[in-house]
Every structure is written in C-alpha cells, then in structure tokens.
C-alpha cells in the first residue's frame, strides 16, 4: 500500500514534468494558422510541414549539425583532460591542491555578458572565430572543472589498495590507469560525459558570440529566425522539439550506465 | 582517506590548468582593465580610476536588481533542494523503473536555455497555452506579461520545472551509494522512516548535496536566457535580475567601463557566497560516517 | 597577433604583477616548509593558502565598502586592507 502511494506521487510529478514538453510537441504538428485559430488539446490535422521545412532548409539543419559537432569535441576534450587531473586530486596531496580545486569551480561564477567581448577578441587573435573548435574550447571553461569535480568523487570511491597492488605487480602508471582503473569507474565516466554533453548543449551566449555562420548553433538560429519574420509558433515548436532529440538519444544509450554509475559511489 | 604526498601529481593537473586558464585568466584580466577606463573605441581610452565602481555601487536600480536576485536564488534553493531530495527518495532503486525515471528526469535538463523560455511562453500564453488557458477558464485573469506577481510565479514554476530534476538526479546518486546493510541495520533497530532519513540518508548525501547547492546557487544567481525570453525583465523592472540589467548596460547603452565594474562586483558576490556554502557544507557534520 | 585589445594600464598591470608574485612566493614557501592546517580566530581550520585567499577576498570587500559608503580617498582603505591581510595571515 505504501509502495503504491509513492509510485502514484512520482507518476504525478513525471506527468507535470512532461506537460510543457507535450504541449510543444502538440504545437509542432500544427500549422501556425491552425494554432492561432482554435484551442485544442491534441493536433486534429497533423501536419509535418514544420519539420519538413527544418530538414530541407540548410540554415536550419546545419545549426543542429554544428551544435552536435562542437558538443562532441568538447565532451572528448573535457573527459580526456579531466581524467588524469581528477586522479591526481583523489589520490595525492600537492602544493595548492585545495586552492586549485576551488579555483576551478570559480570559473562557473563569472557573469557571461561582459566577458563575451574579451572572449571574442581572444579567439579572433588566434583566428578561431566561427570554428567548432573555438566553441568547444570555450565550453571547457565550465565543463572541465565540473568533470574534474564529478570524476574525483567517483575515483575516491575506489579503494587505494587497488592502486598499490597494481603498482606492486609492476604496472606502469599509464597502463594501470587504462587497463585497471578506467574499467572500474566506467559508469562514472558515462555519467560525467552526460553532464558535459548537457551543459555544452544548452549553453547559448558563448556559442552565439564565437560563431557567425559556419559553426552557428541551433539555439542561436532559433532566436534569429524568430525575430526576423514574426512569430511562427508551429515552426518554433518543431525546432524546439528537435533540440531535445539528440539529448534524448544520448540518455537513452547511457541510461544503464547512469543507473550503474549512480550506484557506484558518492558522486 | 589518507592521500599520498607527491608534488609530481601537478603534471597530471597541468593540462586542465592551462586549458582553463587560457579561457579564464586572460578575459578576467581584460575585464579588470576595462573597469578602470573610459573606452570610446579601439585605441581611444582614458584612465578614470575607481569612478565606475563608485557609480555602479551607488546605482539605485542595481540595488533593486540585487535584492531581487537574492530573493530569487533564495527561493530557488528553498524549493528545489527539498523537492529534489523528496523525488529522489520516491524513485525506484533498481529495475526498469529506475532507468525510465532517470531518462524522464534528464529530459528538461537537455533543452537549450532559450528554448526553455520558448516552451514556457507557448505553455502559458492565455490564447494558445495549455496552462494560461486552463487558469483563465477557472475564472482567474492570468497574463504574466501584465502582472508582476504572476510573472514571478510563472518564472518560479519554470525554474523549478527546469532544475529540480538536476537536484533529484544528484540526490539519487547519493542515495544509491548507501549499502543495503545500513537499511537492514536501521530496520532491526526499529528506526522510523524519519530517523533513517536523518541519520543515514542525509549524512550520506552531503557530498552530492554540496554539488547541488553550489550549482543551483551559481546558475540561478547568473540566470539570464530563460527570464529574458519569458518576461524580458518586465513588467516594468519587476523581473530584471542582475544579469539582465548588466546586459542592458553593456549592450544597450554600450558602457563598457561601468559594465565591467558591475561584472567584477557581481563576480565577487558569487565568489563570496559560493565559498561560504562550500566551507559550510564541507564542515557540517564532519566526523560523521564517511 | 596583437594584444592591444586587452587595454592594459599601468595600475592594473602592477596589481596583477603583485598578485602573481604573491602566488609564486606562497608556492615556494609551501615547498620549503609545508603548512599544517590550524585553527585561529576564524571559525574553520585553515592552511596558509586558505588564509591568503580569505585575506584577498576580504581586502576586495573592504575596498568596495569604502567606495560604496564613504566619499573619502580610496588610499585610506588600502592600509586598512593591508592590516586585515596581516591579521588574517598571522592569527587566522
């Protein structure tokens, strides 16, 4: 009886959570005239016109590709740099370790608006404006510290005796790290990758500032197209739905890792 | 856990240090430089000392925005942290239900922030939105673009809807780390659900809750895209938070100097409070099970 | 590759150089004689590096408060901040 009450409460919460997303989905299958014409809880004349427009117009679909490219690069960079650093923080004491750890976190704290100008200048100095790598590097500013922080938690959950035994068995550090240690925290790496993907995917201000056309993210395409020619609610909703799809695919593939990773140790 | 004393570990941290310093320190120094000068254009600038800081500190509208910001972040923490913990406690511990819950929870987090604003415009508009229309049919005139109170309520709903899943995910991770033996011991002792929570689950969640509180404080204090899209800071200035006001100065009036001074003060405030939270959460209940 | 856009001025350059020197000195000091966390008048136990951070952050706030609440010269706040730094480093 008690279990049932918990499940019902949880289901109600999930229902409320899905409601706004459902509403956007509903809108995306209706034409603009239809939306403004009458109120409907579900689409009566389903149309795919909004989606067709996004998939056939390069200005639209390239936005998705750009976002996916820089998010992937960023996740790879963040993980490969954060793994050794997190190991250092979880296993060793060294000069300034506490201070560096907190300093890394402070990089999430600066208000973006004014930092955008120096950011733009810095990346133009290196000729990186409007490239995917520029956005990927800039997003490292907040993703690398987060990755270090989360991974450090997972690594501290692994007993130090494992390291000691491996070193006694004659493993070198790189071999131990890749062959023994990484498989142990595999699920933790999955969880970290999810967080990196997420924060890079949803960030707009920096991505918009550092790009003009070739690497413009989808979220920026949405804001510009909308302000240009009045509000097309149906198209806007369809574009919004499509921004959820890549993320949804990612969590679908890592869901078991996440469940396991979360069970693995203190994050 | 005792750690090994070894300064060569620095070499493992160096790549991270350089990549973050590249994007962090150079822009930060540039903003400090901006903040003490009057900049007319490329190459044309005058040193003005601390004038911008005085101007910004005396700005009445900034004070208003600051209190609004504290109220907002305070409410966010007060609502989202307990709610997230409760949801994590309700979630199934294993099986397909656990995976499904995780997937559903993660969905709102994966939506770009300006799209969040768009979703909530579509959802709450009185003419085409489900929520807006529903409230209006109940006989309450609802329009968040006209009433400050309703704008705030809508914003809070959006914020709670958007970010509570993050707290829930992290809290869930903390709960999963508790060995089954702890619960069995509690059961044998005849502990109530409340004391199980207070003495076993809550202390074990300290680490993840530190992350949750810090992330939620920083991100809500710096919130920009969602309220900008949803309310544009209005009606009037009632939802103009610090970052929205900052953008008004930096982009709208193109006052680089004051905007830079403003950013630095803003940064110092976030820094101080994050540090306080960090220290408090690190030290609370030290010596507990760990 | 030009760095003109960084808009350097003499005072800010001096400021950053001072901070940089402090960090270098602290690192060398720490290597020479590692600091042990201890408990002073601050409510938490701190290492030397922690106290430097607290001192610097406190100094920033002293200067801001001075600018915000008084019309006097900023140079009066400076020695106050120095005293604060010394007190925190020594007794914190």
Domain residue spans of chain B? 59-283
In DSSP terms, C46 is beta-bridged to: C38
Cα separation, A200 vs A75, in Å, equals 8
Average pLDDT over residues C78-89: 89
Chain C interface disruption, residue of B27, B29, B46, most C CBs within 10 A: B29
Maximum Cα interatomic distance, chain B, rounded to a whole number of Å? 76
Residues A78 and A18 occupy one common structural domain: no
Residue B146 phi/psi, 5-degree rounding, is -110, -35
Residue B47 phi/psi, 5-degree rounding, is -75, 130
pLDDT of B80 reads 94
pLDDT of A267 reads 40
Residues A175 and A234 occupy one common structural domain: yes
Residue B159 pLDDT grade (very low, low, confident, very high; cuts 50, 70, 90) = very high
pLDDT of B287 reads 42
Query: Which domain CATH number covers A133?
Result: 1.10.3720.10
Cα separation, B289 vs B287, in Å, equals 7
Cα separation, A59 vs A64, in Å, equals 10
Question: Cβ of B249: how many Cβ atoms within 10 Å?
Answer: 24
pLDDT of A264 reads 55
pLDDT of A224 reads 58
Residue B289 pLDDT grade (very low, low, confident, very high; cuts 50, 70, 90) = very low
Question: Cβ of A5: how many Cβ atoms within 10 Å?
Answer: 10
pLDDT of A144 reads 92
Cα separation, B59 vs B276, in Å, equals 26
- Does the distance separating the beta carbons of C12 and B33 come in below 8 Å? yes
More confident residue, B231 or B85: B85
More confident residue, A72 or B93: A72
pLDDT of B210 reads 81
- Does the distance separating the beta carbons of C2 and A125 come in below 8 Å? yes
| Dihedral sign of CA atoms A16, A21, A22, A23 in order | positive
Cβ distance A204 to B114 under 8 Å? yes
Residues A43 and A67 occupy one common structural domain: no
Chain A residues touching residue B114 (CB < 8 angstroms):
204, 219, 222-223
Measure C22 CA to nearest chain A CA, in Å: 13
B34, B255, C7 from B41: Cα distances, Å: 12, 11, 11
Chain C interface disruption, residue of A97, A102, A105, A121, most C CBs within 10 A: A121
Q: Which residue of B has its CA nearest to A155?
A: B1
Average pLDDT over residues B214-221: 88
**The domain B59-283 belongs to what CATH superfamily?**
MetI-like (1.10.3720.10)
Report if residue A55 sits inside a domain. Answer: no
Report if residue A202 sits inside a domain. Answer: yes
Q: What is the mean pLDDT of chain A?
A: 83
Residues A155 and A25 occupy one common structural domain: no
Give me the residue spans of the domains in chain C. 4-91
Report if residue A183 sits inside a domain. Answer: yes
pLDDT of B288 reads 41
- Segment 58-97 of chain B within 8 Å of chain A by CB: 87, 90-91, 94
Residue A41: which domain range? 1-47
Q: Is the pLDDT of residue A266 over 60?
A: no
Residue A76 pLDDT grade (very low, low, confident, very high; cuts 50, 70, 90) = very high
- Does the distance separating the beta carbons of C15 and B268 come in below 8 Å? no
- Determine the 3-state secondary structure of B41 from DSSP: strand
In percent, the amount of chain B with pLDDT more than 90 equals 13
Question: Cβ of B147: how many Cβ atoms within 10 Å?
Answer: 15
Average pLDDT over residues A183-200: 86
- Does the distance separating the beta carbons of C44 and B33 come in below 8 Å? no
| Dihedral sign of CA atoms B124, A239, B164, B93 in order | positive
Average pLDDT over residues A230-258: 81
pLDDT of A259 reads 64
Cα separation, A167 vs B189, in Å, equals 43
pLDDT of B97 reads 81
Cα separation, B92 vs A161, in Å, equals 33
Angle at C10 between CA C9 and CA C12, to 5 degrees: 70
- Is the pTM of the predicted complex or chain greater than 0.80? yes
Q: Are strands A92-93 and B4-5 parallel, antiparallel or unpaired?
A: parallel
pLDDT of C90 reads 85
Residue A47 phi/psi, 5-degree rounding, is -130, 140
Q: Is the pLDDT of residue B161 over 90?
A: yes
Measure A81 CA to nearest chain B CA, in Å: 6
Cα separation, B247 vs B235, in Å, equals 17
Cα separation, A101 vs A104, in Å, equals 5
Burial, A74: exposed, middle or buried (Cβ in 10 Å; 0-12, 13-18, 19+)? buried
Counting the structural domains of chain A, the total is 2
Q: Which residue of C has its CA nearest to B42?
A: C5
Report if residue A190 sits inside a domain. Answer: yes
Residue A21 phi/psi, 5-degree rounding, is -70, -40
Q: Is the pLDDT of residue A262 over 70?
A: no
Cα separation, C48 vs C92, in Å, equals 9
Q: Is the pLDDT of residue B2 over 70?
A: no
Note whether C75 contacts B: Cβ–Cβ < 8 A: no
Note whether A103 contacts C: Cβ–Cβ < 8 A: no
More confident residue, B282 or B197: B197
Chain C residues touching residue B268 (CB < 8 angstroms):
57, 60-61, 64
pLDDT in tens, B34-73: 888 887 776 678 888 888 888 888 888 888 889 999 999 9
Average pLDDT over residues C17-41: 86
Distance of alpha carbon A12 from the chain centroid: 27
- Does the distance separating the beta carbons of A17 and B105 come in below 8 Å? yes
Residue A226 pLDDT grade (very low, low, confident, very high; cuts 50, 70, 90) = low
Average pLDDT over residues C76-88: 89
More confident residue, A33 or A106: A106
- Does the distance separating the beta carbons of A96 and C2 come in below 8 Å? no
């Amino acid at each position: 009886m008690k279990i049932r009450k918990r499940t019902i409460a949880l289901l109600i919460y999930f229902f409320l959570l899905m409601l706004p997303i459902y509403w956007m989905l509903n809108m995306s299958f209706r034409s603009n005239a239809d939306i403004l014409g009458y109120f409907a809880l579900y689409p009566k004349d389903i149309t795919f016109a909004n989606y067709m427009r996004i998939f056939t117009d390069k200005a639209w679909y390239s936005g998705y590709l750009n976002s996916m490219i820089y998010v992937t690069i960023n996740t790879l960079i963040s993980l490969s740099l954060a793994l050794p650093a997190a190991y250092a923080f979880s296993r060793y004491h060294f000069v300034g370790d506490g201070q560096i750890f907190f300093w890394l976190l402070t990089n999430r704290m600066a208000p973006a608006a004014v930092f955008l100008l120096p950011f733009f200048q810095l990346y133009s100095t290196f000729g990186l404006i409007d490239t995917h790598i520029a956005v990927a590097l800039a997003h490292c500013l907040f993703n690398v510290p987060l990755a270090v922080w989360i991974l450090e938690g997972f690594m501290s959950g692994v007993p130090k005796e494992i390291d000691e035994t491996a070193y006694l068995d004659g493993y070198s550090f790189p071999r131990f790290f890749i062959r023994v240690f990484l498989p142990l925290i595999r699920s933790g790496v999955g969880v970290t990758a999810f967080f990196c993907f997420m924060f890079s995917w949803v960030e707009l201000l920096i991505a918009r500032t550092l790009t003009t056309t070739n690497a413009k993210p989808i979220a920026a395409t949405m804001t510009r197209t909308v302000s240009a020619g009045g509000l097309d609610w149906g198209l806007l909703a369809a574009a919004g739905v499509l921004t959820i799809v890549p993320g949804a695919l990612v969590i679908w593939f890592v869901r078991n890792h996440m469940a396991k990773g979360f069970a693995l140790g203190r994050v | 856990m005792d750690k090994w004393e070894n300064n060569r570990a620095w070499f493992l941290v160096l790549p991270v240090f350089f990549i973050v310093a590249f994007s962090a320190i150079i822009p930060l120094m540039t903003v400090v430089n901006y903040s003490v000068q009057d900049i007319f254009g490329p190459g044309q600038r005058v040193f003005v000392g601390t004038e911008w800081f005085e101007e910004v500190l005396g700005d009445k509208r900034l004070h208003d925005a600051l209190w609004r910001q504290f109220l907002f972040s305070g409410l966010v923490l007060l609502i989202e942290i307990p709610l997230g913990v409760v949801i994590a406690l309700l979630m199934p511990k294993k099986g397909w239900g656990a995976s499904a819950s995780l997937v559903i929870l993660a969905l709102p987090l994966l939506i770009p922030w300006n799209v969040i604003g768009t979703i909530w415009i579509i959802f709450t508009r009185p003419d085409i939105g489900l929520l807006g229309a529903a409230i209006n049919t109940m006989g309450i005139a609802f329009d968040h673009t006209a009433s400050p109170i309703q704008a705030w309520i809508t914003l809070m709903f959006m914020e709670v809807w958007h970010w509570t899943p993050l707290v829930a995910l992290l809290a869930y991770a903390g709960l999963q780390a508790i060995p089954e033996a702890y619960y069995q011991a509690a059961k044998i002792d005849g502990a109530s659900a409340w004391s199980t929570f207070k003495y076993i689950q809550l202390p074990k969640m300290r680490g993840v809750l530190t992350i949750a509180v810090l992330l939620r404080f920083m991100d809500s204090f710096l919130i920009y895209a969602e309220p900008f899209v949803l309310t544009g800071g209005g009606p009037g200035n009632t939802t103009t938070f610090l970052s929205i006001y900052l953008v008004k100065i930096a982009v709208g009036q193109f006052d680089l100097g004051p905007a830079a001074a403003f950013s630095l003060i803003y940064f110092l405030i976030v820094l101080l409070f994050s540090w306080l939270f960090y220290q408090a959460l690190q030290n609370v209940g030290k010596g507990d099970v760990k | 590759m030009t760095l003109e856009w960084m808009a350097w001025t003499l005072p800010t350059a001096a400021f950053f150089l001072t901070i940089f020197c402090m960090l270098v000195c602290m690192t060398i000091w720490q290597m020479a004689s590692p600091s042990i966390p201890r408990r002073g008048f601050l409510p938490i136990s701190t290492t030397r590096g922690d106290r430097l951070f607290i001192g610097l952050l406190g100094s920033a706030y002293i200067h801001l408060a001075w600018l915000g609440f008084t019309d006097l010269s900023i140079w009066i706040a400076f020695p106050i901040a120095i005293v604060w730094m010394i007190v925190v480093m020594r007794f914190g």
